[in-house]
Amino acid sequence: MEGGGCLDCCIKCLGGVPYASLVATILCFSGVALFCGCGHVALTGTLTILETHFSKVTANHAMLTDIIQLLQYVIYGIASFFFLYGIILLAEGFYTTSAVKELHSEFKTTICGRCISAMFVFLTYILGIAWLGVFGFSAVPVFLFYNMWSTCAAMRAPTLPTNLPANESICVDMRQYGIIPWNSTPGVVCGSALLDICNSSEFYLSYHLYIVACAGAGATVIALIHYLMILSANWAYLKDASHMHAYQDIKHKEERELQDIQSRSKECLNSYS
């Protein structure tokens, strides 16, 4: 009997787990971790490449350095916020699952609880739109690094002699992207110097980290869309549960009134008899 009772308890506990919210939380944590971790390291590698090859005068890229440091601090904030937000949404999933499971029992959903669920729907919608922008923004460095990589790949093509002077005219100018100002020196890298950049560990690591960070941002967008569907469904369930409880309360009240009327009628008949 104890084994059966323990098994029933485990089944009941597992039945109360919001698996959809759990999957969305894991996906959200994974996406944010990839975006924040890889993005932070990739920004540091990008700054090293720019300082070493494209802008050797510190004063020329001082603003860029400040922007990169600011972005890294923003990454810390994003990681902390979404760690807490994911836990809160998971807890809300547990709450809503309990409310739905206890639909026909004494569990009552309050107006405050339904308002909180609606607030989470709105906030998750706003965050989803914001992360779509982050996803698009994170694709920009991938595009820039891909241009450099494809340029170096063209220079390594077997159809082009490596000692051809024309290879020295193949250049990458970071100033045209607005990353560094036009007075930066040298600002442009050509030929063998460009190949050295593409062969460096900083370039290889930063390029692939930007790709992973972009994928992490995409995973976060998917997780937020998943959250939005879950929260919308949970809010609808809570609303239906509140209507059901209101109906049951009215029904019980009418039954009590009917019983009172019947009892008074019987008393009146007994008094006449």
Q: Which of 29-38, 142-151, 152-161, 168-177 has the lowest mean pLDDT?
A: 152-161
Share above pLDDT 90 across residues of the chain, in percent, rounded to a whole number: 30
pLDDT at 185 over 80: no
Would you state the pLDDT for residue 273? 58
DSSP per-residue codes, 22-83: HHHHHHHHHHHHHHHHHHHHHHHHHHHHIIIIIB-SGGGGHHHHHHHHHHHHHHHHHHHHHH
Give yes or no for residue 184 having a pLDDT over 90: no
Q: Which residues contact 32 (CB under 8 A, 6 or more apart)?
A: 78, 79, 82, 83, 86, 216, 220
pLDDT given at position 165: 54
Q: Tell me which of 211 and 185 has the higher pLDDT.
A: 211
> What per-residue string of b and e applies to 249-268 under the rule 16 or more CB within 10 Å gives b?
eeeeeeeeeeeeeeeeeeee
pTM for the model stands at 0.78
CB 121 within 8 A of CB 228: yes
pLDDT at 225: 94
Q: Which residue has the higher pLDDT, 58 or 223?
A: 223
Q: How confident is the model at residue 235 (pLDDT cuts 50, 70, 90)?
A: confident
pLDDT of residue 106: 46
Tokens of 133: 């922008």
Calpha distance 35→77 (Å, rounded): 13
Q: How far apart are CA 117 and CA 111, in angstroms?
A: 10
Query: What are the residue boundaries of the structural domains of the chain, listed by start?
Result: 23-102+109-239
Residue 162 makes CB contacts below 8 A (sequence gap 6+) with 155, 156
pLDDT band per the 50, 70, 90 thresholds, residue 189: confident
How confident is the model over 57-113, as pLDDT tens digits? 777 778 888 888 899 999 999 999 999 999 998 888 877 766 555 554 444 555 666
What pLDDT is attached to residue 1?
Answer: 45
